[in-house]
């Protein structure tokens, strides 16, 4: 089912896409997930999580378009929404250029909005990336119990590479492999990058697993979200990574909390 010529009601199944639409016109958002925390104070209905959306509740909102992502959302849920008569716009984002182009298409064609100024600001910010010293290699855990790390072909890995940090597991066959802690501790890395989402790593939860190795606590939203936060991401992430390299551990204030 195609998106109508005029879009008045949008349901977003991805927090970063919610923030992207809200950065243009928050009034369009009729429904968002329970995890959509940015911007705060959204008046939209809550329709479940990214992996368990309430299809009946979404259909009852009569959205002109439902925004989804091929990694964040499950195909059976999207198929059920289509069967219920909801147009579904699915993004696929694996690197920065794909993110910028996909957001432009989603907002202008999928939501019938004018191209937002924050998208231009994001493109400009990443053209002037404050890269670290070349040759830095990092382990990037995204979960604990069990340990999972960034593997191949990930958006976050691409952002780190643009900042001068190479992901040790970028050549792994899986995108988010489970790696035992002993192997992680033995990996040839200059740095451990610990984002505060999806797992909330912090000063007392994560760095202690890698004794003797610098650890940078970074903002998970700026590392993994594609939306308005991209405009601030390069400067903030570079500062947090540099703090980890120079002091051994970024303090709470540097982690974007």
133 vs 185, more confident: 185
Written in H, E and C, the secondary structure of 221-234 is HHHHCCCHHHHCHH
Mean pLDDT (whole number) for 95-116: 96
Q: Where are the domains of the chain?
A: 10-115, 132-255
Q: Which residues, including other chains, have CB under 8 Å from residue 75's CB and lie 6 or more apart?
A: none
> How far is it, in rounded angstroms, from Cα 192 to Cα 249?
10
Contacts from 67-76 at CB under 8 Å and sequence distance 24+?
67/10, 67/11, 67/12, 67/13, 67/14, 67/17, 67/18, 67/21, 67/91, 67/106, 67/110, 67/111, 68/13, 68/14, 68/17, 69/13, 69/14, 69/17, 69/93, 72/13, 72/14, 73/13, 73/14
> How far is it, in rounded angstroms, from Cα 177 to Cα 218?
20
Taking Cα atoms as reference points, which of 141, 161, 159, 163 lies closest to residue 150? 141
Model confidence pLDDT, tens digit, residues 26-40 = 999 999 999 999 999
Give the phi and the psi of residue 249 in degrees, each rounded to 5: -155, 125
Report whether 34 contacts 27 (CB < 8 A): no
Report whether 82 contacts 88 (CB < 8 A): yes
CA diameter of the chain: 58
The fold for domain 132-255 equals: Rossmann fold (3.40.50)
pLDDT band at 132 (very low <50, low <70, confident <90, very high): confident
Mean pLDDT (whole number) for 234-246: 92
Position 251 pLDDT exceeds 60? no
> How far is it, in rounded angstroms, from Cα 107 to Cα 29?
13
10-115 belongs to CATH 3.40.50.1980:
yes
Model confidence pLDDT, tens digit, residues 166-197 = 999 999 999 999 999 999 999 999 999 999 99
Common-topology check for domains 10-115 and 132-255: yes
User: According to the model, what pLDDT value does residue 133 have?
Assistant: 61
> How far is it, in rounded angstroms, from Cα 164 to Cα 203?
23
Position 148 pLDDT exceeds 50? yes
| High-pLDDT (> 70) share of the chain, % | 95
> How far is it, in rounded angstroms, from Cα 255 to Cα 110?
34
Taking Cα atoms as reference points, which of 85, 84, 115, 58 lies closest to residue 4? 85
């Amino acid at each position: 089912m195609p998106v109508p010529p005029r879009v008045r009601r949008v349901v977003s199944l991805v927090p970063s896409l919610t923030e992207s639409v809200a950065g243009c016109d928050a009034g369009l958002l009729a429904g968002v997930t329970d995890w959509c925390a940015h911007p705060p104070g959204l008046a939209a209905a809550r329709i479940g999580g990214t992996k368990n959306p309430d299809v009946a509740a979404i259909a009852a909102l009569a959205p002109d378009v439902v925004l989804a992502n091929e990694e964040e959302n499950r195909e059976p849920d999207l198929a059920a929404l289509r069967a219920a008569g909801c147009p579904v716009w699915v993004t696929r984002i694996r690197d920065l250029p794909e993110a910028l182009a996909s957001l432009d298409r989603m907002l202008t064609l999928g939501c019938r909005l004018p191209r937002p100024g924050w998208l231009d600001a994001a493109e400009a910010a990443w053209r002037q990336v404050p890269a670290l010293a070349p040759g830095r290699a990092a382990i990037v855990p995204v979960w604990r119990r069990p340990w999972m790390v960034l593997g191949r072909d990930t958006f976050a890995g691409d952002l780190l590479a643009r900042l001068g940090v190479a992901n040790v597991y970028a050549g792994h066959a899986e995108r988010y492999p489970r790696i035992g802690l002993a192997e992680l501790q033995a990996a040839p890395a200059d740095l451990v990058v610990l984002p505060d989402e999806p797992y909330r790593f912090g000063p007392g939860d994560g760095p202690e697993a890698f004794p003797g190795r610098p650890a940078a606590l970074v903002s998970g939203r700026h590392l993994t979200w594609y939306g308005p936060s991209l405009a601030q991401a390069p400067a903030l992430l570079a500062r947090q990574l540099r703090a980890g390299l120079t002091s051994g551990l970024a303090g709470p204030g540097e982690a974007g909390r």
